[in-house]
């Protein structure tokens, strides 16, 4: 054949192949599912579908669960907001990055600096990423100076205007009970979020989560030229529990049931010297001292029901939108929460109440409720969404849950939660192993026979311990990264944004 004729043919063929590939890519992109991710702060297993507390009313999430996969045994990467969110959004566990504390900014980790976070990855894959509310944990000396705004194409900061009913306010740190300031109040030590609760005055207008839900209602009415990745951040039931009176009225205080607890619970949690290492938390002691156990439990349930209504607003808008049949939806808490169990309120422990959280997944085509008992982790969200959306794979610490979404009875491994360097929880469907205090404290609980974790088998049953250790210890992290320096981003927003941009430009090149 004439070479002069061959070259033009080659060129035409190459152009045809390129055009075909571009066309195929556009068809593929247009068929990709949208993603709606809803994070509910400090949400424990009191959502109805998880059975943690039958009294707690969450009708919207329960209705959503009726056409979804309910993961009954989901662990968080870390039992506080910052480490858990940093892990699930970066795809790397705390022991890999050194992000162990709320004081650690994930952007100070070299590993995170060189890798795209979950929303950045989806933006890079030609998704439109949209967010409002708490998704990333905030960092910086000025409130909200770094709230993860850099990770989204469209972002709006959530704000709140509330008026608290002073006559019904309870506040441990300020020594206020039922609206009255006590003389010489007990247990007022500062630290962590303020332990306070009581109804607000007025309706829902102006409340952060309600306004976030309304914002997403409008977003779901808009037209988009490419698939979207929406991240909805609901802040309740994070402290403080201030929501409208009507949510408190859902619960008759006289009939509120307080979770079971044992005042001698720590007697068998010993270090290598045989000494007890834990003591009741100030919140627990304060509630006991002033007869507020039921009040606190009701306040948490009220805040949870309020959060559920806000989630329901978004879910209803999706159901009534043109995106209803082509959207993956994930609802999850960032970690669990104690309400008297293990003699504490709050999170930040490696016991089951703090490490386990609700996780519900709906993929297009699901018509009925399925319950999965396998042990999964929020760290699996990133690889699962990549897999479900047919995007290029990425090396991450978690693993895709797509196989479980197709067959929830598949065998699956135990999973890990980490609190500070070297402190870990390894949990399976039967056993829960905890190692902490630099390895000097070990605990083992038989979850089938002791779901409240009252009996530490390390002190009483060597045969069970040996059996469980063979199954659980291999899943301990092989190494524990040094903690990154405490966040010191004391800069103007403009300077901080420039610093972040430089770091994210590096990540987006990968």
pLDDT digits (tens, 9 = 90+) for 446-481: 999 999 999 999 988 999 999 999 999 999 999 999
Q: Which of 123, 109, 107, 94 is nearest to 508 (CA)?
A: 123
Q: For 230-273, what is each residue's pLDDT tens digit?
A: 999 999 999 999 999 999 999 999 999 999 999 999 999 999 99
Q: Which two tokens stand for residue 179?
A: 């609206």
| Six token digits for residue 12 | 């035409």
At residue 4 the predicted structure's pLDDT band, cuts being 50, 70 and 90, is: very low
In a domain, 18, yes or no: no
Please indicate, yes or no, if residue 15 is contained in any of the structural domains. no
Q: Give pLDDT, residue 496.
A: 62
The partner residues of 244 in beta bridges, in order of sequence, read: 200
Q: How confident is the model at residue 16 (pLDDT cuts 50, 70, 90)?
A: very low
Domain count, the chain: 1
Domain at 338, CATH number:
3.40.720.10
Q: Is the peptide bond before 240 cis (omega within 30 degrees of 0)?
A: yes
In this prediction, what percent of the chain has a pLDDT beyond 90? 85
DSSP alpha helix (H) spans, 320-450: 352-355, 381-388, 402-406
SS3 426: strand
Contact 404, 372 (CB under 8 A): yes
Which ranges in 117-223 belong to alpha helices (H)?
Answer: 118-124, 208-219
Q: For residue 412, is it within any domain? A: yes
pTM of the model: 0.92
Assess if residue 2 is contained within a domain: no
Residue 434: closest CA among 475, 483, 467: 475
pLDDT surpasses 90 at 371: yes
Residue 184, in any domain of the structure? yes
Which pLDDT does position 489 carry in this prediction?
A: 57
Is the predicted pLDDT of residue 299 greater than 90, yes or no? yes
Residue 252: domain span: 32-508
Give domain status of residue 86, yes or no.
Answer: yes
Which has the minimum average pLDDT: 19-33, 269-283, 314-328?
Answer: 19-33
Whole-number pLDDT of residue 459: 86
- Share the mean pLDDT of the chain: 91
Q: What is the pLDDT of residue 501?
A: 72
- Residue among 320, 232, 326 nearest 30 (CA): 326
Which residues, including other chains, have CB under 8 Å from residue 268's CB and lie 6 or more apart?
455, 456, 458, 459, 460
Is 52 within a domain? yes
Cα–Cα distances in angstroms (integers) from residue 426 to residues 74, 172, 394, 473, in the given order: 12, 33, 25, 8
pLDDT tens column, 374-409:
999 999 999 999 999 999 999 999 999 999 999 999
Identify the band that residue 507 occupies on the pLDDT scale cut at 50, 70 and 90.
Answer: confident
Q: Which residues of 297-310 are buried (b: 16+ CB within 10 A; e: fewer)?
A: bbbbbbbbbbbbbb
pLDDT(9) > 60: no
Report DSSP letters for 224-274, one per residue: -SS-EEEEEEE-TTSSSB--BHHHHTTS-GGGPPPPP--TTGGGG-B-TTS
Q: How far apart are CA 401 and CA 119, in angstroms?
A: 19
- Show the beta-strand stretches assigned E in 286-333: 327-333
User: In this predicted structure, what is the pLDDT of residue 500?
Assistant: 73
Residue 101 has pLDDT above 80, yes or no: yes
- Among 98, 88, 89, smallest CA distance to 151 is for 89
Q: Regarding predicted confidence, which is higher, 30 or 310?
A: 310
- Asked, as a colleague might, if the bond just before 237 is cis with ω within 30 of 0, I would say yes
Q: How confident is the model at residue 490 (pLDDT cuts 50, 70, 90)?
A: low
- H/E stretch holding 39: strand 34-40
Residue 495 pLDDT > 90, yes or no? Answer: no
* Phi and psi at residue 348, to the nearest 5°: 55, 45
With vertex at residue 347, the alpha carbon angle to CA 286 and CA 248, rounded to the nearest 5 degrees, is: 60
40 near 133, Cβ under 8 Å?
Answer: no
Catalytic residues: 81, 137
pLDDT at 20: 36
Residue 489 lies in a domain: yes
């Amino acid at each position: 054949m004439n070479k002069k004729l061959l070259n033009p043919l080659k060129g035409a063929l190459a152009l045809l192949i390129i055009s075909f590939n571009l066309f195929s890519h556009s068809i593929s992109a247009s068929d990709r599912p949208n993603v709606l991710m809803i994070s509910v702060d400090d949400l424990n297993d009191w959502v109805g579908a998880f059975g943690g507390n039958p009294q707690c009313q969450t009708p919207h999430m329960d209705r959503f669960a009726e056409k979804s996969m309910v993961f009954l045994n989901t662990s968080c990467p870390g039992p506080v907001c910052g480490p858990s969110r940093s892990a699930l959004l970066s795809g790397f566990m705390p022991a890999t990055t050194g992000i162990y504390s709320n004081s650690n900014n994930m952007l100070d980790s070299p590993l995170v600096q060189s890798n795209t976070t979950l929303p950045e990855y989806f933006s890079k894959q030609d998704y439109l990423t949209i967010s409002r509310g708490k998704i990333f944990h905030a960092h910086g000396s000025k409130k909200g100076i770094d709230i993860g705004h850099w990770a989204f194409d469209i972002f709006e900061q959530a704000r709140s205007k509330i008026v608290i009913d002073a006559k019904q306010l309870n506040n441990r740190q300020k020594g206020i009970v039922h609206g009255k300031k006590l003389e010489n109040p007990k247990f007022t030590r500062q630290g962590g979020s303020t332990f306070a609760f009581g109804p607000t005055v007025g309706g829902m207008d102006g409340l952060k989560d309600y306004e976030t839900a309304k914002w997403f209602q409008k977003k779901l009415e808009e037209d988009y030229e490419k698939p979207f990745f929406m991240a909805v951040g609901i802040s309740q039931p994070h402290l403080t529990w201030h929501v409208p009176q009507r949510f408190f009225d859902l619960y008759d205080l006289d009939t509120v049931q307080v979770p079971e607890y044992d005042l001698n619970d720590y007697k068998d949690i010993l270090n290598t010297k045989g000494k007890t290492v834990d003591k009741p938390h100030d919140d627990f002691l304060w509630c006991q001292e002033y007869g507020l156990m039921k009040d606190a439990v009701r306040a948490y349930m009220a805040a949870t029901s309020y959060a559920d209504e806000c989630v329901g607003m978004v879910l209803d808008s999706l159901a009534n939108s043109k995106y209803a049949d082509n959207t993956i939806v994930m609802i999850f808490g960032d970690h669990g929460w104690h309400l008297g169990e293990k003699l504490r309120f709050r999170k930040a422990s490696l016991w089951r109440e703090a490490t386990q959280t609700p996780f519900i997944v709906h993929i297009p085509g699901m018509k009925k409720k399925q319950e999965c008992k396998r042990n999964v982790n929020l760290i699996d969200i990133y690889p699962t969404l990549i897999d479900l959306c047919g995007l290029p794979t990425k090396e991450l610490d978690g693993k895709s849950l797509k196989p479980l979404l197709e067959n929830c009875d598949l065998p699956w491994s135990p999973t890990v939660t980490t609190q500070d360097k070297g402190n870990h929880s390894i949990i399976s469907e039967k056993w829960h192993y905890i190692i902490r205090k630099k390895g000097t404290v070990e605990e083992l609980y038989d979850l089938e026979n002791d779901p409240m974790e009252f009996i530490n088998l390390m002190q009483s049953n060597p045969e069970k311990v040996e059996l469980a250790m063979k199954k659980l210890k291999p899943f301990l992290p092989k190494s524990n990264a040094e903690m990154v320096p405490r966040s010191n981003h004391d800069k103007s927003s403009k300077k901080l944004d420039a610093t972040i941009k430089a770091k994210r430009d590096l990540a987006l090149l990968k």
